[in-house]
Amino acid sequence: MSDGFAPGNRIRDINPDGSSAEDAWAAEHGGPAESARGDAQSGSPARLTAGRGRRFVSSTTGAPTLDAATAAQTAPPAPIPFDWDSAEARAEQYDAKKAPRKGKRAERAYRQLLEERRRAEAERSAVEANREAKGVAGFRDASRHGSHVAMSNPEYTPSKMYEASDPTPPERGKRWYTRLVIIIPVVVVLVAGLVAGIGLPALAQARATAEANEAARQFTTELAAFEAAWTSENLQALLGPLPHAGIEESADALQQPPEAQEAFGTECGAVLADATRAATAMTDNPPPTLAVLPSASFSAAYRDAQQRDGEFAALRQTAQTLLGALSNTIAPIAAFCTNFQAGVTIENHASARDLAELEPLRTVAPGGVITIDNVQATCDDPLGCVDYANEEQRRKYAATWRSIQEERMESLIAHYRDACWLDVLKPYCTLMSDAWNEAKSGVTAAANAMEQLQVSDEPGQPPFPRLAEATAEMNHVFQEVADKAKLEAGSVDPESLLDVEPGWETRMLIRLVTQYETHLATAVTDYAASASA
């Protein structure tokens, strides 16, 4: 049975909605659909119909081709908008899904909805690709929400309406509580920047101004205290003590006469105490200096203090010079007064004992004649001599003299070792301590020679040769070390090396102490001149 298909016949337009060719022909020619089927008896061919398809014409090669009338119908039909795929529809579906939920639950539900839409779209795309690859024709693509026919056409390209629609819901503004997570840190950063840009410089300026005000206040306070201490009365007090005026030249520097000791005590007593008080007050209130602050220009008090500090600069320099002179003179002068007076006291004590204990035993006046064993001896001691012919008095005198000399020499050894008159004379004092230690070793020998007196009447010999020998040996060992001490003193006072006369030691002391007094007086005078300028 023939299917009635003839290549030369035209195929009527196919209704995409699925109506038959007869109905289309009837609508075009105004006749019933049955007349289009043909008359089998008259031999006219029947019009073939197809549920879906395109109209073809026969070519010279026998291959079906599209005629011009139907060429316009080969293009895909116009896209039909999908309500579910529009922005409004997606938003409504999104709100419908999300409405019952809040917060993180809404976000999870929204992500789940997106995932379901993506899976459904992927499945639809896979089915469509499979159909087009196999060339299935005549079937309505029910997986799409449009009306079109898929044909076996290798050059067919689906239009955009066939592509997978984007299931992403429309962008919506974030909820207020999610924006706070970003807004709050931003506000904090902005406020911190505002504080750093405005508050910190203002705070730094306020702090610098406070520091400058404090520096100015401190300078003003110290300047007032300085002016109260550095008065003309205190300056005059510094010029008071003159210890050298209380030293008198003597063969033994520590054996000062009473009037010299009185003058020395005055200079080193109340006068020195007043000078020490003034020096302490001035030292405790030195000339102030304004602290240098780089960021102090905002303080009016600091600027005023700067001006006064500049005016005070010259006076500050002379004041610092005077402070140096005070530290280099007042303390040495005070130490000299104390130590020298201690040495004088040792000699005074020995002299007092001598006067009280030995003077009554000196019954022979200076230049008197002592006769013992028919030998006559002349007393050459300016203080007088004991009557050596009286053995009892002689032995008593020898024992008392030894006691006094040993006590004196032990005291002088400690004095020169521990209480040197001036620090610059310490090497000299150390050797003098050794000299008195050597002399002490000969005291016993001299005392024994006095007790066991040896008498000689030989011409050119002393009347008491062993006593004279012991005394000479004691003086020799002392002088030998004392000469070395003088060399050390010459390194401080060169003039003493040229001084070979008795009393050189006291003259050396007068020169050294005068140097300290002159140095202090010069500094005081310079400061007074600067202060009055």
Question: Which residues make beta-bridge pairs with 364?
Answer: 385
Q: How many CB atoms lie within 10 A of CB 344?
A: 20
- Look at residue 270 and tell me if it is in a domain: yes
Rounded to a whole number of angstroms, the distance between the first and last alpha carbons of the chain is 149
Query: CB of 341 within 8 A of CB of 264?
Result: yes
Sign of the C-alpha dihedral, residues 488, 490, 496, 499?
Answer: positive
311: burial class by Cβ within 10 Å (0-12, 13-18, 19+)? exposed
- Look at residue 41 and tell me if it is in a domain: no
Distance CA 395, CA 386 (A): 10
Asked whether residue 348 falls in the same domain as residue 481, the answer is yes
- Look at residue 439 and tell me if it is in a domain: yes
Copy the structure tokens of residue 188: 């904090």
- Look at residue 413 and tell me if it is in a domain: yes
Asked whether residue 313 falls in the same domain as residue 398, the answer is no
Copy the structure tokens of residue 376: 């006559």
Count how many domains the chain has.
2
- Look at residue 480 and tell me if it is in a domain: yes
Question: Which residues make beta-bridge pairs with 58?
Answer: 64
Q: Which residue, of 329, 358, 376, is where some domain finishes?
A: 329
Sign of the C-alpha dihedral, residues 324, 329, 334, 339?
Answer: positive
Host H or E run for residue 6? none
Residues 6+ apart with CB under 8 A from 243: 264, 267, 268, 272, 333, 336, 337, 340, 513, 517
pLDDT score recorded for residue 337: 96
CA atoms within 13 A on the CB side of 361: 21
Nearest to 282 by CA among 235, 249, 218: 235
Question: Which residues make beta-bridge pairs with 378?
Answer: 369
Asked whether residue 322 falls in the same domain as residue 348, the answer is no
3-state percent breakdown (helix, strand, coil) of the chain, nearest 5: 65, 5, 35
CA atoms within 13 A on the CB side of 11: 23
Query: CB of 286 within 8 A of CB of 226?
Result: yes
Copy the structure tokens of residue 467: 């006593």
Cα three-residue angle 466-467-473, rounded to 5 degrees: 90
- Look at residue 29 and tell me if it is in a domain: no
Place of tokens 């520091």: 211
Residues 6+ apart with CB under 8 A from 418: none
Asked whether residue 409 falls in the same domain as residue 455, the answer is yes
Amino acid identity, residue 132?
A: E
- Look at residue 266 and tell me if it is in a domain: yes
Copy the structure tokens of residue 472: 């000479």
Asked whether residue 271 falls in the same domain as residue 391, the answer is no
Q: Which residue, of 329, 348, 383, is where some domain finishes?
A: 329
pLDDT score recorded for residue 312: 94
Asked whether residue 324 falls in the same domain as residue 343, the answer is no
Host H or E run for residue 64? strand 64-65
- Look at residue 353 and tell me if it is in a domain: yes
Query: CB of 264 within 8 A of CB of 246?
Result: yes
Asked whether residue 400 falls in the same domain as residue 381, the answer is yes
Query: CB of 422 within 8 A of CB of 335?
Result: yes
DSSP 8-class letter at 140: B
CA atoms within 13 A on the CB side of 382: 0
pLDDT score recorded for residue 287: 96
Q: Any idea of the CA torsion for 69, 72, 73, 75, to the nearest 10 degrees?
A: 160
Place of tokens 């924006």: 179
Residues 6+ apart with CB under 8 A from 238: 275, 278, 279, 326, 330, 520, 524
CA 28 remoteness from chain centre: 106
Asked whether residue 266 falls in the same domain as residue 399, the answer is no
Copy the structure tokens of residue 223: 């300047």
Q: Which residue, of 291, 311, 329, is where some domain finishes?
A: 329
Place of tokens 């899904």: 97
Asked whether residue 211 falls in the same domain as residue 323, the answer is yes
Amino acid identity, residue 272?
A: L
Distance CA 98, CA 110 (A): 7
Distance CA 468, CA 449 (A): 8
Q: Write out the chain's pLDDT in tens, 533 residues.
A: 444 444 444 444 444 444 444 454 444 444 444 444 444 344 444 443 444 444 444 444 444 444 444 444 444 555 545 444 556 666 666 555 555 555 778 788 888 889 999 989 988 888 888 776 665 444 444 444 444 444 444 555 554 444 444 555 555 555 655 666 677 777 777 776 666 556 556 666 678 788 888 989 999 999 999 999 999 999 999 999 999 999 999 999 999 999 999 999 999 999 999 999 999 999 999 999 998 887 767 788 899 999 999 999 999 999 999 999 999 999 999 999 999 999 999 999 999 999 999 999 999 999 999 998 888 888 888 899 999 999 999 999 999 999 999 999 999 999 999 999 999 999 999 999 999 999 999 999 999 999 998 888 888 888 899 999 999 999 999 999 999 999 999 999 999 999 999 999 999 999 999 999 999 999 999 999 999 87
66: left (phi over 0), alpha (psi -120 to 50) or beta: beta
Asked whether residue 280 falls in the same domain as residue 421, the answer is no
Asked whether residue 415 falls in the same domain as residue 502, the answer is yes
Range of the domain at 522: 338-532
Asked whether residue 313 falls in the same domain as residue 415, the answer is no
Distance CA 358, CA 443 (A): 16
